[in-house]
A and B are shown apart, each in its own frame.
Chain A
Amino acid sequence: DGGITQSPKYLFRKEGQNVTLSCEQNLNHDAMYWYRQDPGQGLRLIYYSQIVNDFQKGDIAEGYSVSREKKESFPLTVTSAQKNPTAFYLCASSIVGVGGQETYGYTFGSGTRLTVV
């Protein structure tokens, strides 16, 4: 089955440490995204990438870094510079500008809940 996989589901990090969240998709989607969600809030865009080896900052990129070395993978590193990293992180993917599609939209992973201890 095609889909998008995030791992791990739960992650604990000590203050001052970097941690990397994994996101892999086998949907052959060009674009991938990272969102952060805090309790009772909507999703806020951290980074997105439309093609390999290229990515753009979203609204809250400070303290985060990404890479896009492969089409299938878009890992997110939460660095020690992120002042309040405890949150629910969602990865998504989508097609880009393909004609003839019935719908366009995101496919989301199941999320990683990061807690700083």
Chain B
Amino acid sequence: LAKTTQPISMDSYEGQEVNITCSHNNIATNDYITWYQQFPSQGPRFIIQGYKTKVTNEVASLFIPADRKSSTLSLPRVSLSDTAVYYCLVGDMRGYGGSQGNLIFGKGTKLSVKP
């Protein structure tokens, strides 16, 4: 199982770029890297997903080096509303052979954005 390691917490100020790095040294060939955002008392929300190199959408960018043993979620110009817990998830999200049941949500990174 691809275990992930990410910082427990991070602080930032409004308008800054925030980079959250996730380590996943034993990532497998079929594994994707997916990031979720969770606000208190709500379900996690999908942010971005990638397999290799760089992925960008309207919310964030995901940088994945060639060896895929880590990944970095980049949030440009954060605002107070970006204060949340961010989870890095690594696994075969396609679900073959019940692989989705093996995905592990760690404790995530609690991002606090200050004015």
Query: Is B115 part of the binding interface, using a Cβ–Cβ cutoff of 8 Å?
Result: no
Which residues of A80-117 are within 8 A (CB) of B? 88, 90, 92, 94-98, 103-111, 113
Other-chain contact of B95, A90, A97, A109 (Cβ < 8 Å): A97
* Contact-residue size bin, chain B (C-beta under 8 Å from the other chain): 20 to 34
A-B contact count (CB 8 A): 73
Chain A residues whose C-beta falls within 8 Å of the C-beta of B108 in the assembled complex: 42
1/0 contact string of A3-37 vs chain B (CB within 8 Å): 00000000000000000000000000011010100
Contact of A48 with B100 at beta-carbon distance under 8 Å, contacts A42-B108, A104-B32, A108-B45 already known:
yes
**Interface of chain B: mostly helix, strand, loop or mixed:** loop
Which residues of A31-78 are within 8 A (CB) of B? 31, 33, 35, 40-45, 48, 50, 56, 58
Contact of A50 with B41 at beta-carbon distance under 8 Å, contacts A42-B108, A105-B49 already known:
no
- For the complex of A and B, list the 6 residue pairs with the smallest distance between their C-beta atoms, beginning with the closest: A108-B43, A104-B93, A96-B95, A43-B105, A42-B105, A103-B49
